[in-house]
Chain A
Amino acid sequence: MIDKQLFKIDGAGSILKKLAGLEILQAFFIVGQALALASVLSKLWAGQPLDWLLLITFAACFIARQLISTLRDSMLEKYSGRVAEELRQQLLNKVFRDGQALVQKQGTGSLITMSLDGVDEVRQYIKLIYSKVLTMMIVPVLIFVGMLFLSWTSAVILLVMYPLIVLFMIILGHAAQDRAIKQFGNFQVLSNNFIDSLRGIDTLKYLGLSKRYSKSIFNLSEGFRKKTMAVLKVAMLSTFALDFFTTLSIAIIAVFLGFDLMNGKIALFPALGILILAPDYFLPIRDFAGDFHATLNGKNAFKRINELINLPEEKTNDLPLKTWSAQDQLKIKNLKFTYQKGTEIGPVSLQVQGFKKIGIIGMSGSGKTSLINLLSGFLTPDQAQIELQGQKTTTMNIPAWQRQMTYIPQEPYVFTKSLRENIAFYNPQASDDEIKQAIHIMGLDALLNDLPNGLDTVIGRGKRVLSGGQSQRIALARAFLDPKRKIMIFDEPTAHLDIETEIDLKKRMMPLMQNKLVFFATHRLHWLKEMDYILVMDHGQLVEQGSYEQLQQNQGYFCKLMAGMRGENNDQ
């Protein structure tokens, strides 16, 4: 129920002590409030005039109790906020240090959900655990002690009821849980089904079925409602049990006290005291039961975030590299990588010297992107003997390598920032003139003219979505503004563009590649002739390498691939 990890957090001990102190104080005020009221009422019953002092004491205790809970909430709010923020910070640090390697393994969606919703759930979890659980452990105990002094028999009856409540809740809770879990599956099916229908609504319309489908959405929902109600009938039994035993206990105690009073075994004052205390005695467990499910989510999120933070760091190698020059060499021998699902890449061996344009070609799934990720250091090879500028390494995850690298994927990311910030991303000091020049050279003038606030217009997701070609141009403009980066890595930059845009972009890209070391993965054939050297991938293997002419002479897989891609063997 409670994560021990939670108490290892900085400051947990001190807040725990303070909160426990407040809870004890609160319990005293609860007892005080009950005693004062019982005393006022019993005096009135006896026909005495209203005891104002006692009535004020009651009100004062009541207010003090509320004040304490206000104070407690305020303390917890601050503490849980701080802890959650620290957790988020650690997580973000991790994400922004390991980058692509972590994102690929965990998925962007999961990382974002964890650092936003997950952290919020943890905050709730901490608040609940520290307030409700602590209250449940301290307040009923002290109230029980108070009741012992009033009437030990009644106190014992109430004590016996407590585990009974817990027991029934657990039994009924378990019965409900199995059905609830099944139902949760149903729920997901339904909500997926609903979203599914919405997503496919255009397909339904194209097929002329959309109007009729409306009825089936309703019927499906109704079916779900009936099933849900069947489960709720069981699931709510556990709350019913809790309610039933608490109110019944109070009723029993009242009747029991009534008999004792009749027999003169007890006076009115302690009897009233017990009656007033009884609901407060049960209150903490009722509060906790209501929030029990919320704690489960928080607990899981807390565990998951801690796992993420504690993942082993990606291996980096802090080699001191010079800026890549015409004499520099990269030698790779027996580079191998295996995905968790078992797909193998390699062994890959290759040698590069100076400023070369190296094409990487192959069908989808042949390992082009994996090779690109290994070369750029986003993935760490299982094994490799790499020699870079004469220095040995087993990974390309080298900060000094990445500092001189430009990486342009199929769909470059455009930040929700101004056009200026987006283009000057790698060189924030660039002047407006330089930025405008980059825009002009990359053919973004039309976009700039279209933007209401020029360079300061915010673009990107949710603001102004750019076309694939425009995103590519932005990425190229970024590269153009940072010419110190001598290594360029492209991953199918034009695969999804229309042919005219592609040809236009090619004209703008070729000058950028001058005097650079370029790795260029593509399956668009016209690029290959521009390459100095070509790596041919098939099923994760590097099956051929050489210049375009050499490969043509070889009449090997490369030629077959080219023919297939041109659609020359139409018989298949």
Chain B
Amino acid sequence: MINKIPVLRALKNDRWVRPYLEKYRKTLILAIALGILTFVCGGGLMFCAGYLISRSAAKPENILLIYVPIVLTRAFGITRPAVRYFERLVSHNWVLKMTSKFRQQLYDSLERDATIFNSKYQLGNILGLLSDDVSHIQNFYLRTIFPMFVAWGLYAIIVIGLGIISPLMGIWMLILFFLIIFAIPIWSVLINGARQSYEKTVQDKLYVDLTDNVMGVDDWILSGRSKEYLALHVNDQDKFLQINAKMKKFDRWRDFVLQIFWVLVIVSLVIWGAARFGGRSTYYTNWIAAFALALFPTVEAFASLPTAAQETNIYKDSLKRLNNLPAPDQTKHKPIKLTAPFNLVLTDVHYAYPQTNKEVLHGINLNIHDGEKIAILGRSGAGKSTLAALLRGDRVPTKGRVTLNGIDTSKFGDQMSNYFSIINQTPYLFNTTIANNLRLGNEDATDEQLWDVLRRVGLAEMVQKLTDGLDTKVDEAGLRFSGGERHRLALARILLKNTPIVLLDEPTVGLDPITEQAVINMFIKELSGKTLIWITHHLQGIDQMDQVIFIEDGQINMQGTPEKLWQTEPRYRELKKADLGL
């Protein structure tokens, strides 16, 4: 039975919810206590008010006789909103505290594979999902876990309280509230859970379809088939609405059933009160109204439970996704200290992606000497980027070795960043000031050093013109800067980092040839003296390199200086001519 509730299954071996419930136990208990107290005060108010009115109706001679209920009524009336206010503050504080930890944990999990992130997770997709997941988990706490605990607390108080006065009534309430708190929510999860999963599938498909087709709207219009798609969409939408309507219908009638149980609770209390206190007019009859009215305000604590339980079906996917992330990287790398010259050597390197048998690279032999400039070309999918990851040690060859001064590059870990820098296709600029972005290369860089590198990459003049100079924010994802300028900033960062080896991973895709040429010239000039590994997709600027290799089908099929290739390889000549438009 328990195994049929998806969220409970997802919570087994969980690293994201349970550890934090433990960790922040005190605040959680305080919040739950306040939550329970809120409803106790609400019930207390009606209880005292009911008693007060009944007692007053007996026209006591002395006002002191109703003094206590008057004070209590007022006290409860004031305490309830105050307690509720504090409860909300405490619970939000609690959730936000955990969110901070979450974010850190999420970051740490992703940090491990950061460099091969793109190929593994499809960055854009996963980021949106993950940040949604964090807010889903927040909701899971605030809307499910927390109200559940509060309801259980109230349940205990009601059953024990009434059980002390009258055990039979206690047992009856035990049964009734069991149905309200456990049976209906579980029923709801079981029946609607499946529907909800199906609804989500249909909805996701609808979303994907619509996004897909709006992106391809030109083709629909040009093909003259727009109407066809619209009809298709209406059809799918109908399917979604049907299942949605079914779910909502169930929700409505489930809530109705819950209310029937609730009226049963009230009616039971009246009958019990009549049997226990009634019969003839005595002092005790004052309690009847008190008990009958006391539970009215607590319905709010229970009415939301089925919906909250059902919503867990949405959270379970988030939980699963988060729990499937790798555990944060704990490996310690031995400290490595290298001195120049820095030589990269690849001996018979083979590589196949994890869980695949197909080799992307088979048998690469290559020496990259200190200070050499080497260009790597090949079709998309030929394994150029894999080669880059192998060089930096982010991937480990399945066979053969990649070494830097005789040490396997995969043994370096984060220390590799002292020897090896990378500029890739879309250099990332963080949404902070230019100075901060540059200082990522060297935190201790002085302003003079910053200006110096900016001058070297030809951006000093432009930055000087900005009103805030170095403290100007680059807009989100660096959109404020054009393609060429972003590459220049990225280069400035790398210049500050000053590593002996720099790898450029297709840095100029999408730039027009004139900008591209200028960027290439700058790279080559400013990085002279360093080992330069340049992965590129065409031959613009290739003549300035010392060595050119072409990778095809996972092997090197052309290798040599640009002059030698021009003289001996007809294929190279053909490509080169095309590139020049000759």
Q: Which residues of A contact B (CB under 8 A)?
A: 37, 40-42, 44-47, 49-50, 55, 58-59, 62-63, 66-67, 70, 73-74, 77-78, 81, 85, 88-89, 92-93, 95-97, 99-100, 103, 108, 111-112, 115-116, 191-211, 213-215, 217-218, 221-222, 224-225, 228-229, 232-233, 236-237, 239-240, 243-244, 247-248, 250-252, 254-255, 257-259, 261-262, 264, 267-268, 271-272, 275-276, 279, 363-364, 378, 402-403, 405-407, 409, 413, 415-416, 425-426, 428, 460-462, 465, 467-469, 478, 495-503, 506, 523-529, 561-562, 564-567, 570, 572
Q: How far is the CB of B310 from chain A (nearest CB, A)?
A: 16
Contact across chains for B380 and A468 when beta carbons are under 8 A apart: yes
Contact across chains for B212 and A236 when beta carbons are under 8 A apart: no
Bound complex: CA A415 to CA B514 (Å) = 34
Bound complex: CA A20 to CA B130 (Å) = 44
A-B contact pairs, 7 of them (CB 8 A): A44-B270, A50-B271, A66-B256, A100-B221, A232-B92, A250-B46, A428-B225
Contact across chains for B280 and A47 when beta carbons are under 8 A apart: yes
Q: Which chain B positions have C-beta within 8 A of A428? A: 225
Q: Which chain B positions have C-beta within 8 A of A88? A: 237
Q: Which chain B positions have C-beta within 8 A of A402? A: 221-222
Partner of A255, one of B52, B218, B518: B52
Contact across chains for A261 and B259 when beta carbons are under 8 A apart: no
Contact across chains for A236 and B88 when beta carbons are under 8 A apart: yes
Bound complex: CA A205 to CA B107 (Å) = 12
**Stretch from B140-148, B167-175, B284-292, B447-455 contacting the other chain:** B284-292
Contact across chains for B579 and A526 when beta carbons are under 8 A apart: yes
Bound complex: CA A468 to CA B506 (Å) = 14
A190 (CB) vs chain B CBs: closest residue: B103
Q: Which chain B positions have C-beta within 8 A of A251? A: 45, 49, 73-74, 76-78
A67 (CB) vs chain B CBs: closest residue: B256
Contact A96 B230, CB 8 Å, known A66-B256, A209-B440, A402-B222: yes
Q: Which chain A positions have C-beta within 8 A of B211? A: 112
Chain B, interface residues (CB within 8 Å), range: 35 or more
Contact indicator per residue, chain B 224-266, by CB within 8 Å of chain A (1) or not (0)? 1110011001100100010011001100110110011001001
Within 8 A of A (CB), among B42-92: 42, 45-46, 48-50, 52-57, 59-60, 63, 66, 69-70, 73-74, 76-78, 80-82, 84-85, 88-89, 92
In the complex, given contacts A196-B430, A415-B219, what are 9 additional A-B residue pairs having Cβ atoms less than 8 angstroms apart? A45-B286, A47-B281, A112-B210, A199-B477, A248-B77, A255-B52, A259-B56, A261-B57, A461-B208
Contact across chains for B224 and A403 when beta carbons are under 8 A apart: yes
Q: Which chain B positions have C-beta within 8 A of A267? A: 57
Contact across chains for B56 and A257 when beta carbons are under 8 A apart: yes
B580 at the interface (CB under 8 A from A): yes
Contact A218 B103, CB 8 Å, known A402-B222, A462-B208: yes
Partner of A92, one of B73, B233, B277: B233
B117 at the interface (CB under 8 A from A): yes
Q: Which chain B positions have C-beta within 8 A of A218? A: 100-101, 103-104
**Stretch from B18-26, B27-35, B184-192, B417-425 contacting the other chain:** B417-425
B529 at the interface (CB under 8 A from A): no
B209 at the interface (CB under 8 A from A): yes
Contact across chains for A415 and B212 when beta carbons are under 8 A apart: yes
Partner of A225, one of B82, B85, B93, B378: B93
Bound complex: CA A196 to CA B437 (Å) = 12
Partner of A63, one of B101, B214, B260: B260
Contact across chains for A225 and B97 when beta carbons are under 8 A apart: yes
Contact across chains for B100 and A221 when beta carbons are under 8 A apart: yes
B123 at the interface (CB under 8 A from A): yes
Q: Which 6 A-B pairs have the closest CB atoms?
A: A525-B581, A251-B77, A208-B417, A47-B281, A221-B100, A254-B49
Q: Which chain B positions have C-beta within 8 A of A497? A: 380, 537
A209 (CB) vs chain B CBs: closest residue: B440
B61 (CB) vs chain A CBs: closest residue: A262
Contact A566 B56, CB 8 Å, known A58-B267, A63-B260: no
Partner of B52, one of A99, A195, A258: A258
Q: How far is the CB of B545 from chain A (nearest CB, A)?
A: 13
Q: How far is the CB of B260 from chain A (nearest CB, A)?
A: 7
B464 at the interface (CB under 8 A from A): no
Bound complex: CA A271 to CA B125 (Å) = 61
A416 (CB) vs chain B CBs: closest residue: B212
Q: Which chain B positions have C-beta within 8 A of A215? A: 104
Q: Which chain A positions have C-beta within 8 A of B378? A: 498, 500
Contact across chains for B52 and A250 when beta carbons are under 8 A apart: no
Contact A496 B111, CB 8 Å, known A206-B421, A567-B517: no
Q: How far is the CB of B345 from chain A (nearest CB, A)?
A: 22
Q: How far is the CB of B89 from chain A (nearest CB, A)?
A: 6
Q: How far is the CB of A481 from chain B (nearest CB, A)?
A: 11
Contact across chains for A523 and B513 when beta carbons are under 8 A apart: yes
Q: How far is the CB of B503 from chain A (nearest CB, A)?
A: 9
Q: How far is the CB of A525 from chain B (nearest CB, A)?
A: 2
B206 (CB) vs chain A CBs: closest residue: A116
Q: Which chain A positions have C-beta within 8 A of B118? A: 202
Q: Which chain B positions have C-beta within 8 A of A564? A: 513-514, 517
Q: How far is the CB of A474 from chain B (nearest CB, A)?
A: 11
Contact A204 B440, CB 8 Å, known A261-B57, A413-B218, A570-B521: yes
Contact across chains for A261 and B53 when beta carbons are under 8 A apart: yes
Q: Which chain A positions have C-beta within 8 A of B429? A: 200
Bound complex: CA A305 to CA B256 (Å) = 35
B379 at the interface (CB under 8 A from A): yes
Q: How far is the CB of B102 from chain A (nearest CB, A)?
A: 8
Contact across chains for B260 and A221 when beta carbons are under 8 A apart: no
Bound complex: CA A524 to CA B273 (Å) = 91
Q: Which chain A positions have C-beta within 8 A of B483? A: 364
Q: Which chain A positions have C-beta within 8 A of B577? A: 526
B114 at the interface (CB under 8 A from A): yes
Contact A214 B104, CB 8 Å, known A196-B476, A501-B380: yes
Contact across chains for A415 and B213 when beta carbons are under 8 A apart: yes
B377 at the interface (CB under 8 A from A): yes
Bound complex: CA A204 to CA B414 (Å) = 10
Contact across chains for B209 and A55 when beta carbons are under 8 A apart: no
Contact A498 B237, CB 8 Å, known A92-B230, A413-B216, A567-B517: no
Contact across chains for B421 and A271 when beta carbons are under 8 A apart: no
Bound complex: CA A73 to CA B247 (Å) = 13
Partner of A108, one of B84, B215, B282, B476: B215
Contact across chains for B280 and A407 when beta carbons are under 8 A apart: no
Contact across chains for B215 and A413 when beta carbons are under 8 A apart: yes
B510 at the interface (CB under 8 A from A): yes
Contact across chains for A70 and B253 when beta carbons are under 8 A apart: yes
